[in-house]
Amino acid sequence: MANPCNDTLLSKTFRAPRMTQREIVGREVIDEIIYRSRKVRDRLILELQARCGMRIGEVLSLRASDVNGRRLTIRRPKSGREEESAFMPETLACRLNAYLETHNLLPDQRLFPICYSTARSLVKRLGDRMNVRIRPHDLRRHSATYASRNGIPLEVISKVILRHQDLKTTQMYLGRISEAEALRWMDVLHGK
């Protein structure tokens, strides 16, 4: 008796999807999108994703009490833990603390009281101004790739920036390495 799963119609219908590598947006373009944002709130949302590797849901759920100097507490992260920490560059931490002071937020108030669809359209609109197709998660992907291209060890990118449980997940985030970049790293590693 023939196996019905070997039928060509079934195998075409239920074919496993191919993973396609997303295009990584360059640092200059990301910086330009961030700097062109008119509102401080919008700029902070973009920077928290692009500089800290945060997911859009994590950024939108931040409360005033979650900001502690350069450390952000992420409550109920995707990992299933009770909480995780994200870290900010000093300049971003200063801007975020100034934002908190000017808005006089109570400890339990959200920093950015907008919904996911509003944040998604915000990122798309700012990308459209630069003629770049970009989604919120592309900013997180950029954070990982930028760190990798600057010699940060994969373990640090995985555990600190992206907060992944598995290194394989982190490797999917990183963009492809061009031939010029491969040669540059060989020169760095072994000299010219």
The 3-class secondary structure across 136-167, one letter per residue, is HHHHHHHHHHHHHHCCCCHHHHHHHHCCCCCH
CATH number at residue 36: 1.10.443.10
What integer is the mean pLDDT of 97-114? 92
**pLDDT of the residue at 80:** 72
- Specify if 150 maps to a domain: no
Q: Which domain holds residue 51?
A: 23-138
pLDDT at position 143 over 70: yes
Query: What pLDDT band is residue 192 in, cutting at 50, 70 and 90?
Result: low
Cβ count within 10 A of residue 141: 22
Give 119's contacts (C-beta < 8 A, 6+ positions apart).
45, 56, 59, 60, 112, 136
Sheet holding 71-75, edge to edge: 67-68, 71-75, 83-87
E strand segments, the chain: 67-68, 71-75, 83-87
Strand partners of residue 116:
none
For the stretch 118-135, pLDDT in tens is 999 999 999 999 898 999
CA proximity to 167, closest of 155, 152, 153, 150: 155
For the stretch 158-174, pLDDT in tens is 878 888 877 777 777 66
What are the tokens at 138? 């592309």
- Specify if 149 maps to a domain: no
For the stretch 4-46, pLDDT in tens is 667 777 666 666 666 555 667 778 888 898 898 899 999 999 9
- Specify if 131 maps to a domain: yes
How many whole angstroms separate alpha carbon 137 and alpha carbon 153?
21
What integer is the mean pLDDT of 81-92? 87
DSSP at 86 = E
Query: What pLDDT band is residue 117 in, cutting at 50, 70 and 90?
Result: very high
Looking at the whole model, is its pTM more than 0.75? yes
For the stretch 28-38, pLDDT in tens is 888 898 898 89
DSSP at 168 = H
Indicate the range of 11-25, 47-61, 95-109 predicted with least confidence.
11-25
- Specify if 95 maps to a domain: yes
**pLDDT of the residue at 61:** 92
**Number of domains comprising the chain:** 1
